[in-house]
Structure 1
Amino acid sequence: MGWACIEAAASGRTEHKPLAQDYPEDVVRRTAFTAGGGHGWRISALETPRPEPAPWKIVVITGAPSWAEYWAETLAELPPDREMIVVDRPGYGASEPLHPVTDIRVQAQALSPVLKAERGQKVLLVGQSYGAAIATLMAELNPGKVAGLVLLSGFFGEPGPTAKWLMDVGSKALKVIPRDLRHAVIEATGQKEQLVHAKRALARLNIPIHMLHGDKDDFAPIEVAERLAEETVTRRPIRFARVDGANHFLNDGPANELIAALEDCLPTRKAWTFRWPQMPKLALPRAANFFTPAAGRIEARI
C-alpha cells in the first residue's frame, strides 16, 4: 500500500488504483457528499448502484490511510439485496481537506451524513482499524440511524510490531512521504489520548455491537481489542469473533468470506406467527345459577 501511495502521488492521481479499469459504473462507482458538522468538505466515496434501495445499507469507515478502492472487490461481489458505501475519510484520497483531521470527534461529525438511509432501509455501520473509534462516535451521534455496529480489525491506540515500525519510520520522514502516509502517521500517533471519547460512546450504545479480528493481526493486536470488549460495560453484550489465521486486512482476502462475516452481524428478526386468542373458560359461581338443566328440561330455582 505504501508503494501504491507513492506511485499515486507521483502521477498526481487521487485514486491509488484507477477503478474504471476494473469495474463498470453500474457495479462500483465513485460518489461524493458534503461533510457534516458545518465543515463543508467534499467527501469522496465508492458505492454500489442499485435500481431500488436495498433493505440493508452497509456503511464502511476505513482506517489509516483511508483508501476506499481497497474495498472495490467486496463492493463488486455484494449481493443485489445489499448496498454498500465506503468512504475516503477527511484528509485522504479524493476527499477534502488537504490537511490532516486529527480529532476523531470532528471526523465523526464530518462523516455522519453518509448514514442517511431511504425509507424502510436499515444501516449496518462498519469501522475498520482506525475507523473503528470514529464509527463508534458516529453511532452515538446519530441515535436511531444505526441498526448495528461492526468494529473490524479495530485499532485502539496500541500498535502491533509492524504498525509500530511504520509509525517510527514515518515520524522521522514526515516531510518527504506522500500526504496520505503522512496523515496516517499523524493520526495513529495521536489517537490514544482520544479513545476516552470512543470508549464512553461504546458504553452508551444500545444496538448490537460486533468485533471481528484476525488472530494474526500485527498492526492492531487482537489482545487489545479483546481487552476492550471485556472491560467495557455496555448496554448489550459485545459479540467478539476471532478470525483464525487472518491478518489486519480482512478486506484483502476472499470477498465472499468477508461478506458472509458481515451478514452474520445483521440483526435478525424472529418469524412472527399470528395466533387467534383463546377466550378463558368462564365458570359461573353457584349463587348465579338461576337455571339448572335437569332431566332434559329447564327448571327454575326459587
Structure 2
Amino acid sequence: MEVGVPRKRPKGVLAMGWAAVEAAAKGRTEHAPTSADYPETVVRRTSFLAGGGHGWRISAIETPRETPPPWKIVVITGAPSWAEYWAETLAELPPDREMIVVDRPGYAASEPLHPVTDIRVQAEALAPVLKAARGQKVLLVGQSYGAAIASIMADQNPGKVAGLVLLSGFFGEAGPTARWLLDLGGKALRMIPKDLRHAVIEVTGQKPQLRHAKRALGRLNIPIHMIHGDKDDFAPLEVAERLAEETVTRRPIRVVRTEGADHFLNDGPAEILLEAIESCIPHKGPAWTFRWPKLPALWAPRLPTTASAA
C-alpha cells in the first residue's frame, strides 16, 4: 500500500490544546487517528498489559517489522502523553530500526481513567514495553515529563536498557510558558478535558519525586544522553544542565544543546530528530560524527560541532 501525504497534526501549544478539547467533545482518544494517515504496515496501534499487577491496558503506536532489527527505540512521552504526535517520526524510521511510543497510564486510550501521579508506579506499569527480541538492544527515550520516568525504568530493569536519552527533559522547574499554562489549567481544572487535567496534576506534583529519578540516574551504568533545545520555554535548558552537573553518575551524562530548538523537538522535520537519536546509538567501525544540519530560519535546530558533557 502506498503512503499518501499525511495530514499535519496541530503544532504549538494552543493548537494542541484546542485539538484535545475537540477530540474530547467528539469522544476520540486520538486527536488525528494515525490509521487515517498511515497503513498498518508503516504505523499501527498496539497495546500491552501494564506491569506491577495493575491490570491496566496501555496503548501505544509502533513500527511493524517482519524481522526484529538490532535496535528497538522505546519512547516514554511527556504530559499530556500523546503518542500520535510521534507518528511522522515513526513513519520516517529506517527499516533497520524499530520504535514504539506509549500513551502513558491515564492518557489517551491507556488505562486507568484517573491520573497516576507517582512516577515510580508509572515506571513499573510501563516496564513491559522494554521487552526485546533475542539479540536486540533497547534505547530508552524519555521525553519531557517522561524523562524522569524513563530514568527509573532503566534502573528498575537492569540489563534491559542499553542506553538512555533524556529528550527535552522536565525536572520540576517550569519555564514561563509552562507556568502560564499550569496557572491557567489549575484555575479551570474541572472544565478542561481529562488529558489536560491529568497533565496539570502530574506536573505540579513532580518536583518532590525527583529524588527517585536522581537516585536512579546515579546507579545506572549505561550511556546517558541529554538532548535539549536552547529555546525551550517549557523545561529550561539551564535546569537540565544543572541536573547533569549536580547528579553523581557512574558515567558522565552527554549533554547536547540543540540551537534554535524549542520544547517540541518531535514537531520539527522527522529526519532531524531521528539523526539526533541515532547519534545516541554506538556504531562499530570508524568514528562517526553527528552534525545538526542547517534548516530554514523558521525552525532551525542544529548541534554545535562539539557537545558539552557534564
Say which of 83, 100, 104 aligns to 1:68.
83
1:103-151 Cα shifts (integer Å, max 9, x gaps)? 0000000000000000000000000000000000000000000000000
Q: Find the partner of 1:174 among 189, 203, 222.
A: 189
Q: What code does the residue aligned with 1:167 have?
A: L
Separation of aligned partners in 2, 1:266 and 1:4: 34
List per-residue Cα deviations over 1:41-96 (Å, max 9, x = no partner). Answer: 00000000011001100000000000000000000000000000000000000000
Aligned to 2:248: 233
User: How far apart are the structure 1 equivalents of 2:166 and 2:119?
Assistant: 15
Residue in structure 1 matching 2:206, options 171, 191, 211: 191
Task: Name the aligned partner's letter for residue 103 of structure 2.
Answer: D
Alignment partner for residue 146 of structure 1, among 143, 161, 164?
161
Is this contact kept in 2: 1:170–1:185, CA < 8 A? yes
Partner of 1:19: 34
1:269 Cα offset (Å): 4.1
2:271 matches 1:250: no
| Matched letter for residue 44 of structure 1 | S
State TM-score, norm by structure 2.
Answer: 0.87
| Displacement after TM superposition at 1:267 (Å) | 2.3
After superposition, residues 43-58 of structure 1 pair within 5 angstroms as: 43-58=58-73
One-letter amino acid of the structure 2 residue matched with residue 266 of structure 1? I
Task: State how far apart, in whole Å, the 2-side matches of 1:269 and 1:236 are.
Answer: 20
SS across alignment from 1:167 = helix
- 2: CA distance, partners of 1:19 / 1:236: 38
CA contact (8 A) 1:147 1:267 kept: no
1:270 to partner: Cα distance:
5.2
Secondary structure of the equivalent of 2:263?
A: coil
> Counterparts of 1:80-229 in structure 2 under 5 Å?
80-229=95-244
1:38 aligned to 2:53? yes
Name stretches of at least 5 consecutive residues in structure 1 with no aligned partner. 272-302
Q: Structure 2: which amino acid aligns with 1:132? A: A
The residue aligned with 2:9 is: none
Distance in 1 separating the partners of 2:119 and 2:226: 19
Alignment partner of 1:79 is 2:94: yes
Contact 1:217 1:246 in 2 (8 A): yes
In 1, Cα distance between equivalents of 2:69 and 2:275? 17
SS at match of 1:99: coil
Task: Provide the secondary structure at the position in 2 that maps to 1:32.
Answer: strand
CA distance in 2, matches of 1:265, 1:3: 34
Partner-residue secondary structure (3-state), 2:101: strand
Trace 1:257-276 onto structure 2 (pairs within 5 A): 257-269=272-284
Which residue identity is paired with 2:177? T
C-alpha separation in 2, matches of 1:4 and 1:29? 21
For 1:5, what is the secondary structure of its paired residue? helix
TM norm structure 1: 0.89
The within-5 A match list for 1:283-298 is none
Query: 1:268, CA displacement in angstroms?
Result: 3.0
Question: Which range is displaced more, 232-241 or 12-21?
Answer: 12-21
Which amino acid letter does the alignment assign opposite residue 95 of structure 1? S
Which SS does the other structure have where 2:254 is aligned?
A: strand
State the SS of the aligned residue for 2:166: strand
Structure 2, unmatched stretches of 5+, are: 1-15, 287-310
Supply the distance in 2 between the matched residues of 1:30 and 1:256 (Cα, whole angstroms): 22
Tell me how far apart the structure 2 counterparts of residues 153 and 95 of structure 1 sit (CA, whole Å). 23
Q: Percent identical across equivalent pairs?
A: 81
Aligned-CA RMSD value: 0.7
User: What is the count of residue pairs matched by the alignment?
Assistant: 271
